[in-house]
Amino acid sequence: MSEEHDTGAWFADQAFWRDFYPHLFSAERAAQAVRIVERSPLFRFPSGARVLDLCCGPGLFTVPLARAGHEVTGVDLSAPLLERARTSSRDAGVDVRFVEADMLAFAEPEAFDAAVNMFTSFGYLDRHEDNVQVLRNLHTSLAPGGTLLVDVVGKEILARRDERVSLSELDGKVLVQRDTVLDDWSRLRSDWYSIEGSRAATGSMTLHLYSAAELRDMLRSAGFAGVRFHGDYEGGPYDHRAERLIAVATKGVDARGN
């Protein structure tokens, strides 16, 4: 049996998240999220901070942030993923607020001291202007002096990689991923094929690619100040050895966000 997914609003297709859940949210990936929250200097938020986890999925970062003593709100468009997140929070014995909402529309003025958007959950929207609007919403949602952390695969990092097709296996499921650069390096399409016995599922995700300079311009146009970049979760520089493009930006204390 083969299943095809709509490649238009791919992130709204719950079948995509169901079929590729073991690969997207593996136990190894969950353990990595725990390590990042516990050890990364980028996650040293004030004690008891109000933290927004935008595009929280099944709560990989939401639950560890709550265990660290923060007041956490997890936001995602997927009801099934949010239900998994609720289960994880109950199992961990932590109290988390979850909201089912579109990141293009979600904004709660000055409700948070910090906001995180992790594991390349940014750039999903077809229109570049809409991705900038997501940053504006985050700026609105942060209190003055609040911190935003956005973690993606930078355009520079992807250009450095030679591999465009990857193969992996997890719990008897084989995953083939093929990446294609589109529109003069402005977007990336990843075609996914998951095979388990006689069952095959296919899916495709498309997202905008941003360089550090492009993301800096977007953050500044959204009102953020003090933008800086890191190349890993330890806070290393964003240079030719970078593994990730991690932007850290601050909402200014005056009305203009400067």
Written as one letter, the residue type at 179 is D
Question: Per the structure, how many domains does the chain have?
Answer: 2
Q: Which domain holds residue 193?
A: 158-206
- Among 23, 38, 29, 39, CA closest to 59: 29
Residue 108 lies in a domain: yes
Residue 255 lies in a domain: no
One digit per residue, the tens of pLDDT, for the chain of length 258 reads 334 433 347 999 999 999 899 889 999 999 999 999 999 999 999 999 999 999 999 999 999 999 999 999 999 999 999 999 999 999 999 999 999 999 999 999 999 999 999 999 999 999 999 999 999 999 999 999 999 999 999 999 999 987 789 998 888 889 999 999 999 999 999 999 999 888 899 999 999 999 999 999 999 999 999 999 999 999 999 999 999 999 999 999 864 434
Residue 127 lies in a domain: yes
Provide the CATH number for the domain around residue 112: 3.40.50.150
Contacts of 7 (CB under 8 A, 6+ apart): 189, 204, 206
Burial class (CB in 10 A: 0-12, 13-18, 19+), 198: exposed
Rounded to two decimals, the pTM is: 0.93
In a shared domain, residues 130 and 150? yes
In a shared domain, residues 44 and 81? yes
Residue 91 lies in a domain: yes
In a shared domain, residues 39 and 164? no
